Structure 1
Amino acid sequence: MRFQILGPVRVWQGTSDVRLGPPKQRTLLALLLAHAGQPVPLHGIVDALWHEDPPATAVNVIHRHVAALRKMLEPGLSSGTASNRLVRVSGGYALLTASDELDLLQFRTLREDAHRLAQQGDRVKAVELLVEALDLWRGPAASGIPPEVRALPVFTAIDDEHVVAVKDAAAYVPTAGAALTERVLVTLRQAASHHPFDEALQARLIEVLAAAGRQAEALETYQVVRARIADEIGLEPGPELREAQRGALGQSHRPQPAAPTTSTAEPAPVGTGAANQVYPAQLPRDLGAFTGRGAELDRLDSLVPAPSEPAQAVVLSGMAGVGKTTLAVHWANRLAPHFPDGQVYVDLRGFHLSGAAMSTAEALRALLDAFGVPVGDIPAALPAQATTYRSLLAGRRVLVVLDNARDSEQVRPLLPAPHGCLAVVTSRHQLQGLMAVEGAHSVTLSPLEKSEARGLLARRLGQERIEREEDATAEIINLCERLPLALAIVSARAALNPGYPLAAIADELRTSHGSLDAFTGEPPLADARCVFSWSYRALTPEAARLFRLLALHPGPDCSVAAAASLTATRPRQVRPQLTELVRAHLLFENEPGRFSSHSLLRAYAAELVDELDTPGDITATTTRVLDHYLHSAHAAETVLAPHRERITLRRPAVHTLPERFPDQRTAADWFDRERPVLLTAVEQDSRRGDGIFSWQLAAVLELYLDRNGRWQQQRTVQTTAITAAQRGGNLLGQAHGHRALGFALSRLAQWEGADEHLQRALQLFEELGDAHGQARVHRYGAFVANQHGRHADALDHYRLAQEFYRSAGHLNGEASVHNEVGWTYLLMGEYGKAIDECSRSLAIHQETGDPNGEAAAWDSLGVTHHRLGHHERALSSFRHALELYRRIRDSYLEADTLVHIADTRLAMGRADSAGRTLRQALGILEHIDHPAAEGVRTKLLEID
C-alpha cells in the first residue's frame, strides 16, 4: 500500500486508487498521515474536523470514520480484530506506515541523506537526492481538504519543509552542472512565485540564475522583487537580497562545470513521479468571497461520476457576467481531491470581441503540454493530437475545465474519455450539440437571487456595513440587476474605501444613467462608466491617452508597434504606458508584446475618446493605425512574393511605424498573427472611413487568404472592399475587389458569380488602361475555363495575359503564364508541349531569381513526368519544388507538392512511403485549417 500527502491525499492498493470516502474521513486520514506514525490525540482530531462548535456526537463520528478507514486500509480485517495500521494509542490514534509507503517519509529520508552528503563534500549527489525529493511533491500538503484544516501548523510545517528543501538545493546547485541546475531552477521559480515575500528564497533564485550565466535575468528578478516589496510592504530589500544582487552584478559569464561522469543516469522529467507521469494542478484560485448558487451546486454535485462510471461533461451556460467561470472554478476546486491524476484549465476564448477563438488544435496542444508532453512529441495533425490526448488519459481520473467555449465542435475533441473523468465547460451558448451527441448535462445560470446578491456583498464588505445601510444595499443590487460581475466591481470599489457610504455609491450608479444596464445584453456595448472611471482617473496622462486611443484600434489585440503608431511615439516610449495599463487591470498581456482588453473597457474607452479627444485627433490616430497595418501588410506581401504585381501606396502618415520583415518566415508569421486585426480593419474602414484603406488592404490580403484556403473570408473581405470603393467612386478599388472576389468564388465552385465578377473586373481594368490588372484577370479566367474542361478557352485567356504582361514589361508575369499554359497542356494530355512551356517558365524564373515561380514550374514538371511514367524524374522535380516552398515558407504549396510526391510513390508501389508523405501533408493542411485537408484524408483512407 502507498500513501500520498505531498499534494492531494491519495492511497493506492497495488496499482488501484483507493476511494477515501466523505470529506471528514479524508481529512482525518490527512491528519494521521501528516503526523507520520505519531499519535494524534482525540481532542486534536475533534478540533481539526470541526474547528469550532463540535457536535455532541463528535467522538462517535470519529470512531465511525476510524472504523471505515480501517476497513479501507485492511480489507481482510475481521470484526473485533485489532488493526495493524490504524491503532489506538494514548488517548488518540496513529496510522503506521513503512518509510517507503508514505511520500512524506521518503521526502524526509532523501533530505537527511542529502544533508549528510553535503557535509561530506559530495554536493552533486546531494542535489540529485534533493531533486528526487522535490519530485515527490504534487502541490501543497493535503491539498483539497478544508482550508481551515490546511491552515493547521502540522500542514503548514510540511509546506515549510518543501521551501527549505528548495533553498538547500539552490545552495548546493552551483557545483552540480547544467542539467541539475535547470531542474532546480524550475522548482525554484515555482516556489518563488508562491512565496513572493520570502526574501531568502528570492535571493536563492537570483544566485542560481547568476551562477547559471543568466546575469540579466537575475538582475531583472531582483528589480521585480524589490518593487514588489516596496509596493506591498513599504520596505527596502533585506541584506540577503542585497547580497544576492551584488553577487549577480559581479558574476562573470563563465560556463558552468559539467556534471561529474560518475553519474550517467538521465534525469527524470521535472514534475513527474515514479511512473513518469505529470499530475497538473492548473485550476485558477477559488474566489474567497464566493457565495450563493446553492441549488446549482447541488445539481452539479449529483453529476460527478464515480471512478467506475463513464466520463461526464457538464455545460454551464448563461449570459455574459452571470458568473459561469466563477462557479466553474469554485466547483472544480471543491472537486479537485476526487481527481488525483490532474486538474487542467483552458480558456478557449470563444466570445472574444474579435471572434478570434482558440482553435481546437491550439487547445489540444495546451492540454498535452499540461501533462508534460514535450513540444517536439506533439503531432502536427489534429486527429493525431486527439489520439495522443485520449491515450495519455487512459486509466487516469482527471478533471478538465474548458472555459469560454464558442460551440460544440470546438469542445468535442477536448472531452476526456476514460471512466471517472469529468469535463466542465462554460459558454454563453447552450451547446446543444454536446448534449445531443455527447450526452452532456446542462446547467443554465440566471442572475443571483436577491438574497444571494446580498450575501455576495456581505461576504465582501462585511455584514455590519450591509446592515447599517440596508436601503443603499438594496438599491445597489437593483442597479446591478443582481449580476455577479457588476456586484463584484461595485463591492471592490466599496472595499477599497471603507469610509465611503454605500448610499454615495448607489447615488453615483443612479446618476450615471443606468450604465450597468449594459451587463444584461450580449454582446455588451456599454459599461459601468462610474466604476471604470475609478481606475482610469488614477492613470498618468500618457497612459490615460493610450487607454482611450486603443478604442480606435481595429482588432482583438494590439502589438507594441501598433500602439506606438496609435500614440505617435516610439516603441520604447509606449512600453511603460502599456505596462501601467496592465498593472491597473485595464489591459491584459495575452502573450509577450500583445495586449487586449475586455469589451466593456473598450466601450468605456470609446466613450472617453468621443468626450475628450478632438475630431482632428481621432482622424489622425485612425489614419496612423490603419496606415500601420496597410503598409506592414504590403511589406510582408512584398517579402513573401517579391515578383508579384501589386498596388502602389501613398506614403504613410507622419509618426506611423510599419513593421519590417527580414525574411519570409517572419512575414508569414506576422500575417498569421495579425489576420483577425487585418480583417477587422477592412470592415472598420468600410463602415467608418472613406473606403480607401478598405480596398487597398483587401487587395494586399488577396494572396495570403487564397494560399491559406481562407476563401470564405476572402469572399467577405472583397465584398466589403467593393462596397467601400463604390461608395468612394474609386474604379481601381472596384476592379481589384471584383477580380479577387471572382477568383474566390471560383475556389468555392460558385461559377456564375465568379464569371460575373471577373467580367466586371476586366471591364474596369480596360477602362483604366491597367495592363497588369487585365493580365491577372485573364489568368483567373483561364483557371475557371480549365476547371470546366474548356482548355481552348483557357489558352486564349493565357495568350491575352501574355500580351498584356509583355506590353507592361513584366517578365516574371510572362514566365508564370508559360507555366500555367504548360499545366493546361498537361490537362489536355499534350505532355511534350507541357514540358516545353514549364521548362521555359523555369529558365526565366531562375534567371530573374523568383523562387515562387521556380517552385511552381518544378512542381508542374514533376506532375507531367508522373503522367508520363517517368517516376524518378518526377520525384527529382518535386524535391526541387519542395525545397523552394519550404525556403519561402509557403505552407499550402509545400503540402500540395507533398501530395504529388505521394501520388508518384504510390504509382511506384511504395504505399507505406506514400502514406507517410500524405500524413505529413495532412498535418500541414490541418495546421493552417485548409479545405484541401479533406481530400488528403480521403486519399489516406484509400491507402489504408
Structure 2
Amino acid sequence: MGSRSGDGAPWRLLGPLRWRRDGADVDLGPAKQQCVIAVLLLTPGRSVPVATLVDRVWGEDSPRAGNAVAPYIARLRRIIAGAGGDPGMLRFVSGGYRAEVAAGDVDLHRSRRLASAAREAHQAGDGKLAADLLRQAVAEWEPVALAGLPGDWAARVREALHRERLDLLAEEAEAQLRLGCPEAVVERLRPVAADHPTAESVVAALMRALSDGGRVAEALEWYARLRAAVGEEFGSEPGAAVRDLHVELLRRNEPMPARAPEPAGPAQLPADVAGFTAREEELRRLDEAIGDDRPVVLSGTAGVGKTTLAVHWAHRVRHRFPGGQLFVNLGGFGPAQSVLPPEEALRGFLEALGLPSRRIPRELPARSAMFRTLLARRRLLIILDNARDADQVRPLLPGVPGSVVVVTSRDRLLSLVAIETARPVEVGLFTPAEARAMLARRLGDERVDAEPAVVRRLGAACAHLPIALAVVAARAAGRPDLRLTALAEQLTTGAGLDLLDGHDASSNVRVVFSWSYRQLTPGAARLFRLLGLHPGPSFTATAAASLAGCPASRALDELVRAHLVAPAAAGRYRLHDLLRAYAAELAGTGERDALHRLLDHYLHGACTAMRLNHTPSTLTPPPARPGTVVDEIAGDGAALEWLIANDAVLIALIRLAGTAGFEGHAWRLARARDHFAVRQGRWGDLVELDRTGLRAARHTGDRAAEAQLLRSLARAHLMTGDHDEAREHALAAARVFRELGDQESEAQTHHFLADVFDRMGERREALRHARTALRVYQAMDDRAGMARALNATGWCHAAVGEHGLAVEHCARALTLFREVGDRDGAAATQGTLGYAREQSGDFGAAIGHYEEAIRLCREIGERFFLADTLAHLGDCRRALGDGHAARAAWSEALDIFDELDHPAPNLRAKLRNA
C-alpha cells in the first residue's frame, strides 16, 4: 500500500533504524547504541529516565552501577556532530535523556500527525484530502519497524507498531472506499489479509471493499477465515465491530427477518477545542479501545486536560458510533454541591435515549438495568467526565458489547481497573515541545518564534500544565503589545498562582487545585500541605514520613490516587512546581518542626552515605528529632545510589536551610555533599553552596566548622579553576586550624595546599606543603593521614622529575592504604605510580598501575579521576603502538568528560588525529 518517500522524515524508526543526512544514511554505531536513540525517538522532546533507558536497552542484563547510558549518548553526540548535526539534540534533563527532535522529523510521528490531520479533514467533510493524507501516512512505513534491533523491548515495540501499521492500512482503505474505489482497495488489501489472517481491521476493510464491489459471498468467506484464525490463535471470537459487519453482509446476501431500525441517537458531546495540540500517544491508546468492550479511564492531575482530550477524541471518532454519543459531567471534583449521583446521570441518559419520564424507574438498580437494556441494540460512545470514584461510574456502564465508555477522573479508579478490567491511560504534563506547540497555536508562530527562550521559561513556570498554559496564552492573546518576557518575569518572581487566574472557577488554577484538595482525608490533606515544604524535585516515602512525623504510606497512596503526587523513578515521588507552590501556601509558616524533621532526615542520610562511600570525614550530625525516619543504607553501592538520587534535593535544602534559620543544617549538609560532588564532577554549584555553608558556620560561631568550610570552598575554587581563591581560602583554613590546635585538620589542609600549588605550577612549594603534612601525620601516628601525605609527596617528586623518590613514597603509601582499607586513596596512589612510570618512559608498568586505578575508580563511583586516568592510559597505549586500545581509552574518557561538561580539548584532537 504505497512505498516510502525518499523525502520523508530524516529519522526513521519504521524499518531499520536510520538517520538520513544530506541524502545519505549515517552509521549510528552498534546495536545497543541504536537502541538508546530509538528509545528517545519514540518520545521526542520528552525526558526518559536513565533507569528506563537501561531497562529497555539491556533488559535483564542491566548493568548495576553507574550511568551505563552516558558512554552511548556521548558517542551518539560525536556521530551527530561528525555528520554536521547538532549534538546538543541529545540532552541530559532531570535524571534522564531526551531527544530534542521535532516530531515531524521522525517518520513514526510524522505518520501519526498525517493520520490525525486526515481524521480532521474527514470530520470537516473533505474526503479526498483525508484519503491523500492517509496515503502519505502509510507511505512512511516499511513492513517491519525497528528491523534488526535486538532485545525484548525492541520486540515489544515492533509488535505494537506492526499492529498500528495494519490499522493504518485499514483506515486508508476505508478512506478510499468512501471515495468509491473498492477494486483498488481489494487489490491492495487481499495480500495483506492473507499474510495477517487475524488482523481484524484489515479483514473488515477488505470485506467492505468486496461487498461494495458486489462480491458479498467472497467477503463472507474472508470472515470465515478470520473467525477460524482468531479461534485457533486466541481461542475467542472476532471483535464486535467485525461481527456486526458480518451480520450486515449476511442480511445483504440472503433474505432475513427485518430488524427494527436503530433509532436516531443523542449527540451530547460538548464543542471540540479549537487548536487542540499534542497527546498523540493518548489518542492512539483511545483508538485501540474501539471494539475492545472495556471502559477506558483517563486519569491525571488537576488541569492536565483530561476532558479536553476525551472530547476531542470523541469528535474524531463519533462517526463510528451510529447509536450516538452520551456525555455527562459527574462533578466528582468541583464544588461539593456539584457531585452528580449516578441515578441522576442515568435519568439524563434514559431521557436522551427516548424513554418517557413516566417509564424511568425510581431506584438506581432498576435505572441501571433499563439503561443496559436500551444499549443492547445500540452502539454508543459514552463520556463519563470528572468521576469521583468507581462507585459513581459502575451503574453507568453498558454491560453489553459494542459501546465504548471513556471515564475521566483525577483519581486513578484502581477498583474499576481491577474489577471491570478498565484500560488505564495516564494523562501527563505536556513536554516542553508540546507546551510550545500549544502556545504557538493560540498566539501564532511569529510571536512564539520571536522569543524562543522566553517560551521555554513560560512553559517551565507553568509546570507544563495545560490549564496554566491556557490562562497564560489567554492573557497574552488579550495583550498583543505585551512581550512574553514580561509574563515570564511575573510568573518566575513570585506572582505564579496569582497570575494563573482566568477569572472564573474552572480557569483559576488555585481553585481547580482546591477541588482535589478538599476531597482528601485529613491525614492525606496534612501530608499534602507539608510536602509544600519539600524543595523538590522528588522525594521518597521516608522523607514524607519524616515531614509528617508519623507513618505516611496510606496518605501518600491517597495522594497518588488523586494525582496530587506522581510516582517517579525508583520508588520516588514528585509534585509539579505549581502544586508544590499551592501546597506551600496551605502549609504557611507554622510548620517549623516538620521542616526540622525533613532536614534531619536528609542530614543523617547524607552523613551515613558519605561514611559508607569511604569519604574521609569526621562529620557527625546531632541526634534527629523524634518522628524523623532515617534511611537504612546497606553498603557502599547503596550509599552511592542514595547520594546520586538525592543530590538535587541536598542542593535545594542547603539553600533553604541557609535562609530559613537552620544554619547548623546548612553547613553540615554542605560538608556532607562536598566530597561526593567533587568525586562525581558536580562542580557547578560547589562555590555557591560552600559559601552558603561558610556563612552559616560563621553565623553559629562554630570555628571548627568555619575552618572546614573554608577548606571546602578552597577545593571548590580549585576544581573550577580559580587557583588564587583556592590558595587564599586554604591558607585561611590552615590558620584557623592552627589557632584551634587541630593538628590533624591542619595537616589535611597542608596536604590540600600541595595540590593547589601543584596546579599553579609551583612544584617546590607544593612539595614543601606535602612534607609538612607528612611530618604532622607521623607525629600523630595517623596511618591513614600518612598514606595520603606520602602519595602527595610522591606526586610532587614525580612532578619535578624525581621518579625514584616518587615510586618509593607511593609504594609506602599503597601499603598503608591497603592496611586501613581506603580504596579512594589506593586509587589515587595507583594513578600517581602510573604517572611516575609514564614520565620515566616505563609505559608497560604505567599501564598496570593505571588499570588498577581505573578498577578502583569504577568501584567507588569516582568520575573525574576515572576520566583523567583513562586519558593517561590511552597515551601509554599509543606510546606502545596500540592505536586501537588508545582510541578506546580516549573515547571512554571523553564520554565521561562530556557528561561532566568538562571541555577536554586535547582528547578531541588526539581522537581526530589517531
1:155 deviates by 8.4
1:918 deviates by 1.1
Q: State the match for 2:489 in structure 1.
A: none
In 1, Cα distance between the equivalents of 2:614 and 2:681? 17
Q: State the match for 2:608 in structure 1.
A: 635
Mapped contact 2:443–2:477 kept (Cα < 8 A):
no
In 2, Cα distance between the equivalents of 1:237 and 1:64? 36
5 Å-filtered alignment, 1:362-761, equals: 446-449=475-478, 485-487=500-502, 490-491=505-506, 528=510, 532-569=513-550, 573-610=551-588, 613=590, 618-641=591-614, 644-761=616-733
- Out of 393, 415, 418, which is 1:232 matched to? 393
Letter in 2 for 1:772: E
Mapped contact 2:606–2:643 kept (Cα < 8 A):
yes
In 2, Cα distance between the equivalents of 1:239 and 1:71? 37
Mapped contact 1:791–1:824 kept (Cα < 8 A):
yes
Change in CA separation of 1:71 and 1:915 when aligned onto 2, cut-off 3 Å = closer
In 2, Cα distance between the equivalents of 1:574 and 1:556? 19
- Out of 888, 899, 902, which is 1:931 matched to? 902
Q: Identity over the aligned pairs, expressed in percent? A: 27
Change in CA separation of 1:577 and 1:820 when aligned onto 2, cut-off 3 Å = same
In 2, Cα distance between the equivalents of 1:553 and 1:72? 46
1:766 deviates by 1.4
Mapped contact 2:817–2:826 kept (Cα < 8 A):
yes
In 2, Cα distance between the equivalents of 1:910 and 1:867? 18
Change in CA separation of 1:2 and 1:486 when aligned onto 2, cut-off 3 Å = same
For residues 558-578 of structure 1, the C-alpha deviation after alignment (integer angstroms, 9 at most, x for no partner) is 221111111122xxx312212
In 2, Cα distance between the equivalents of 1:68 and 1:696? 62
Mapped contact 2:723–2:760 kept (Cα < 8 A):
no
Letter in 2 for 1:822: G
Change in CA separation of 1:237 and 1:850 when aligned onto 2, cut-off 3 Å = farther
1:779 deviates by 1.1
Letter in 2 for 1:557: S
For residues 40-67 of structure 1, the C-alpha deviation after alignment (integer angstroms, 9 at most, x for no partner) is xxxxxxxx654xxxxxxxxxx8899999
Q: State the match for 2:149 in structure 1.
A: none
1:706 deviates by 1.5
- Out of 730, 741, 744, which is 1:769 matched to? 741
Letter in 1 for 2:317: A
Change in CA separation of 1:766 and 1:103 when aligned onto 2, cut-off 3 Å = farther
5 Å-filtered alignment, 1:22-421, equals: 49-50=124-125, 93-97=180-184, 101-102=188-189, 106=193, 109-111=197-199, 150-152=316-318, 154=320, 229-230=390-391, 232-233=393-394, 299-300=444-445, 350-351=460-461
1:600 deviates by 3.9
Of 545-554 and 114-123, more deviation after overlay is shown by 114-123
Change in CA separation of 1:726 and 1:484 when aligned onto 2, cut-off 3 Å = closer
**Structure 2: stretches of 5+ with no match in the other structure:** 9-13, 15-19, 24-106, 139-171, 204-221, 243-282, 291-308, 324-386, 402-413, 481-494
In 2, Cα distance between the equivalents of 1:700 and 1:900? 31
**How many residues are matched?**
597
In 1, Cα distance between the equivalents of 2:719 and 2:228? 74
Letter in 2 for 1:151: V
Mapped contact 1:489–1:531 kept (Cα < 8 A):
no
Mapped contact 2:717–2:723 kept (Cα < 8 A):
yes
Mapped contact 1:141–1:155 kept (Cα < 8 A):
no
Of 480-489 and 915-924, more deviation after overlay is shown by 480-489
In 2, Cα distance between the equivalents of 1:352 and 1:673? 25
Change in CA separation of 1:843 and 1:712 when aligned onto 2, cut-off 3 Å = same
Change in CA separation of 1:887 and 1:584 when aligned onto 2, cut-off 3 Å = same
In 2, Cα distance between the equivalents of 1:88 and 1:619? 64
Letter in 1 for 2:575: S
Mapped contact 1:229–1:235 kept (Cα < 8 A):
no
Q: State the match for 1:908 in structure 2.
A: 880
1:92 deviates by 7.5
In 1, Cα distance between the equivalents of 2:188 and 2:181? 15
Letter in 2 for 1:109: P
Change in CA separation of 1:808 and 1:700 when aligned onto 2, cut-off 3 Å = farther
Mapped contact 2:198–2:229 kept (Cα < 8 A):
no
Instruction: Give the secondary structure class of the aligned counterpart of 2:573.
Output: strand
Change in CA separation of 1:148 and 1:636 when aligned onto 2, cut-off 3 Å = closer
Q: State the match for 2:762 in structure 1.
A: 790
1:925 deviates by 2.8
**Structure 1: stretches of 5+ with no match in the other structure:** 32-47, 51-60, 74-84, 158-225, 249-280, 304-311, 326-349, 354-402, 406-425, 429-442, 452-479, 493-515, 517-526
1:94 deviates by 2.8
Change in CA separation of 1:115 and 1:871 when aligned onto 2, cut-off 3 Å = farther
Instruction: Give the secondary structure class of the aligned counterpart of 2:181.
Output: strand
In 1, Cα distance between the equivalents of 2:790 and 2:763? 15
Change in CA separation of 1:827 and 1:70 when aligned onto 2, cut-off 3 Å = closer
1:125 deviates by 10
In 2, Cα distance between the equivalents of 1:602 and 1:825? 55
1:119 deviates by 5.5
Mapped contact 1:87–1:95 kept (Cα < 8 A):
no
For residues 190-240 of structure 1, the C-alpha deviation after alignment (integer angstroms, 9 at most, x for no partner) is xxxxxxxxxxxxxxxxxxxxxxxxxxxxxxxxxxxx997445325899899
For residues 259-317 of structure 1, the C-alpha deviation after alignment (integer angstroms, 9 at most, x for no partner) is xxxxxxxxxxxxxxxxxxxxxx999899xxx9x999955944x99xxxxxxxx989767
1:599 deviates by 3.6
Letter in 2 for 1:674: N
Instruction: Give the secondary structure class of the aligned counterpart of 1:595.
Output: strand
State the superposition RMSD in angstroms.
5.7
Letter in 1 for 2:524: A
Instruction: Give the secondary structure class of the aligned counterpart of 2:502.
Output: helix
Change in CA separation of 1:818 and 1:156 when aligned onto 2, cut-off 3 Å = farther
1:735 deviates by 0.6
In 2, Cα distance between the equivalents of 1:886 and 1:69? 52
Q: Does 1:917 align with 2:889?
A: yes
Mapped contact 2:130–2:175 kept (Cα < 8 A):
no
Letter in 2 for 1:595: Y
1:814 deviates by 0.9
Mapped contact 2:530–2:547 kept (Cα < 8 A):
yes
1:593 deviates by 3.0
Q: Does 1:878 align with 2:907?
A: no
In 2, Cα distance between the equivalents of 1:825 and 1:849? 25
In 2, Cα distance between the equivalents of 1:285 and 1:227? 24
Mapped contact 2:723–2:759 kept (Cα < 8 A):
no
Change in CA separation of 1:797 and 1:487 when aligned onto 2, cut-off 3 Å = same
1:782 deviates by 0.7
Instruction: Give the secondary structure class of the aligned counterpart of 1:658.
Output: coil
In 1, Cα distance between the equivalents of 2:556 and 2:512? 21
Of 735-744 and 533-542, more deviation after overlay is shown by 533-542
In 1, Cα distance between the equivalents of 2:196 and 2:806? 77
For residues 139-174 of structure 1, the C-alpha deviation after alignment (integer angstroms, 9 at most, x for no partner) is 7779999967742555899xxxxxxxxxxxxxxxxx
In 2, Cα distance between the equivalents of 1:693 and 1:722? 12
Change in CA separation of 1:582 and 1:871 when aligned onto 2, cut-off 3 Å = same
In 1, Cα distance between the equivalents of 2:606 and 2:555? 26
Change in CA separation of 1:567 and 1:938 when aligned onto 2, cut-off 3 Å = farther
Letter in 2 for 1:627: D
